[in-house]
């Protein structure tokens, strides 16, 4: 059973990725939201923008991670050059 768990069938790869991305998004955005609320309440005298900004950070991190999961080779600043067809 452990063997089967390890090996996900090929048709389910994308679904898994999507699951991971969604959970990542939820976690990151929730962390950002909470950090923004705490920061606005404590540091920025109950202003609303720190909440949006930190949530945005959270979403952005989630997006970046998701992007990496879908295309691990697309690292910013790195370009993979295909070898010329011989």
Q: Does 14 bind other proteins (CB under 8 A)?
A: yes
Shorter beta-carbon distance to other proteins: residue 15 or 48: 15
Write the CA distances from 6 to 1, 10, 14, 18, 21, integer angstroms: 9, 12, 15, 18, 19
Q: Does 21 bind other proteins (CB under 8 A)?
A: yes
Q: Which long-range contacts (CB under 8 A, 24 or more apart) does 48-57 make?
A: 55/29, 56/32, 57/32
Shorter beta-carbon distance to other proteins: residue 44 or 63: 63
Q: Under the rule (CB under 8 A), what is the footprint of other proteins?
A: 9-15, 17-18, 21, 63, 66-67, 70-71, 73-74
């Amino acid at each position: 059973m452990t063997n089967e768990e390890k090996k996900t069938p090929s048709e389910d790869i994308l679904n898994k990725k999507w699951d991971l991305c969604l959970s990542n998004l939820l976690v990151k955005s929730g962390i950002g939201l909470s950090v923004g609320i705490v920061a606005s309440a404590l540091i920025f005298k109950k202003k609303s923008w720190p909440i949006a900004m930190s949530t945005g950070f959270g979403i952005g991190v989630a997006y970046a991670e998701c992007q990496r999961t879908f295309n691990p080779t697309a690292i910013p600043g790195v370009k993979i050059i295909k070898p010329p067809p011989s």
